[in-house]
Amino acid sequence: MHQLPVEILEELLSWLSVKDLLRFKSVCKKWNSIISSQHFINLHLKKSISTPSRHRIFMPYRETFATVDYYGKDLDSDRKRPSVFMPRPEETIGKFLGGGTCDGLLCYLDRVTLRMCVWNPALRLSKTLDLKIPGIVRTLLFFWFGRESYDDEYKVVVGIRGRTESRNRTYLIKPFSDNCVTESTQSETDDLYFRSFDEGTLLRGTVHWLTVSPRINTVGSIGQCAVFTYNLGSRTLGKLSTPVGLDSNGVIGVMNGCLSAVYNARRGGCPIYEVWVMKEYGVKESWTKFMNISPRISDRISSSTRLKFVGVTDKGDLIVSCAPNFELLIYNVVENKSKTLVNYGNGSARMYVETLVFPRFA
């Protein structure tokens, strides 16, 4: 192995788990240099993302977390919960987990102080910093953490309402380069309601959040939904339509490379969930119903439950997270039946890969 060219060694090592790679850094200086290089970290990241067998589901709890595989082989069948829990960094306890996961990283945010913690569970490493936003923040409207591509830098998008400002503002922050605000955009969101659990959905270089705008008619106040957008490249704000019938309990996401929406089409009695996709991005008329999800998906689901797709197994079964109880299911579309992987939690499940990635602060 020591006589092999560096390129061959990199290819062989890139197929190993993070746990093994951390051990193998002690083999010799050459291996340590290879595994620690940014080139190898990116190579291993690409392999992990493109290899479904490396994908796992991250399940947050109050002071711990658990990773779940698609088929539940790591589950205690009697209690139907992950059999191994691992601790979270102290600075993440009680904080808001937003932005989903990106390259094996998770981002926690204190809504009051705007102190942020980025954590790589596989490396057991975390870093914290304060987001420097001018003025006094009154309300955190929305939040997103991630990056567009392997070559791009990590970013945070924050929407806030300040005490000294007449309108809401959207800030694009590059915390891993200079820890300061680089963009401030005035946004027409004073009458929009952003849900605190909506972490933002990245598609086509744009982050999407579901919003509700109050509207009064002869019956009373009802919520008119829209998708609020922020383009990372042009740094512009926008708005997209939603399927007819989508309400504040709906959830948006990405399915088959298209913007998707899931909502309960039957408000009373047994819920029936409709799944819609926007086949032509930005075109209102292209919203098309993709499928229905039967009420038999789980006995625990009620009319107030929000369904969100976490992923798809290699057999085509859907992995579904259910809020507010945060139940995690595998749903067999063909047979119209489900299996519970986790029957409770303290946050929405997220797809996750173990990587060596960690952004460095300047």
CATH number at 263 reads 2.120.10.80
Could you tell me if residue 233 is inside a domain?
yes
Could you tell me if residue 29 is inside a domain?
no
pLDDT, tens digit (0-9, with 9 covering 90-100), for 168-226: 777 777 766 555 666 667 666 556 677 655 678 899 999 999 888 765 444 444 567 88
pLDDT, tens digit (0-9, with 9 covering 90-100), for 41-73: 999 999 998 888 788 888 888 788 888 776 544
Could you tell me if residue 77 is inside a domain?
yes
Which pLDDT belongs to residue 217? 45
Could you tell me if residue 11 is inside a domain?
no
Cβ–Cβ < 8 Å for 200, 180: no
Domains in the chain, number:
1
Could you tell me if residue 3 is inside a domain?
no
360 pLDDT band, cuts 50/70/90, is: low
Which pLDDT belongs to residue 296? 60
Could you tell me if residue 253 is inside a domain?
yes
- Sequence-ordered list of residues with C-beta below 8 angstroms from that of 293, at least 6 positions apart, any chain: 262, 272, 273, 274, 275, 307, 331
Q: What are phi and psi of 39, to 5 degrees?
A: -60, -45
Q: Is the pLDDT of residue 295 over 60?
A: no
Using the Cα atoms of residue 81, residue 82, residue 85 and residue 89 in order, give the sign of their dihedral: negative
Domain of 288 in residue numbering reads as 37-353
| Rounded distance between C-alpha atoms, residue 353 and residue 47, angstroms | 10
Could you tell me if residue 4 is inside a domain?
no
Could you tell me if residue 242 is inside a domain?
yes
DSSP 336: T
Strand partners, 320: 309, 329
Is the full-model pTM beyond 0.95? no
